[in-house]
Chain A
Amino acid sequence: EAEVAQSPRYKITEKSQAVAFWCDPISGHATLYWYRQILGQGPELLVQFQDESVVDDSQLPKDRFSAERLKGVDSTLKIQPAELGDSAMYLCASSVPLQRGGSYEQYFGPGTRLTVT
């Protein structure tokens, strides 16, 4: 069964350092998402790609976060410099339209758990 791949699974970094996460969506999924999930909360959308284009990055803290999906396949999310408040699970998802259309079924990867010390 096809899955969304993410790496690393765990990352510990010191504040002010740079950190990067990688995601490989399910083959053929044009839409890719990066979410941040703080413990005890639901996923919060950071950025959404359609192929290589950003369609929503309104919640991405652009002073320190960047995301790219250069060839419309895999994607990288970067944080520089990392802050203590960035400690969270970073989830990548890709999607297909719901059978009915109009919205999407999202397939999530296992996430990268980031701890900033």
Chain B
Amino acid sequence: SQQGEEDPQALSIQEGENATMNCSYKTSINNLQWYRQNSGRGLVHLILIRSNEREKHSGRLRVTLDTSKKSSSLLITASRAADTASYFCATDAGSGGSYIPTFGRGTSLIVHP
């Protein structure tokens, strides 16, 4: 079963615009991660935000985490055609040194040049 669920399922924007994707989850987490997957390839780790953090930046990426609402958002600013991919959030509620991310179904982002 999916712990995190991304919204929207699909997003189509023009190059230069910002893209915002949301993730909601059900149970308490240790951390939340965002990954990108280009068509048929492996996932690329973008950013990890821990449960005691509220916001994190990495280049054009901004991730927020609201543990009270059990939600996170990923903002990609000034999008490029190369950002076209599926984006997944993954939540982890592991313990004892074991961290097993549970993935949502992803948001498919298309950036038109």
Asked if A pairs with B, the answer is no
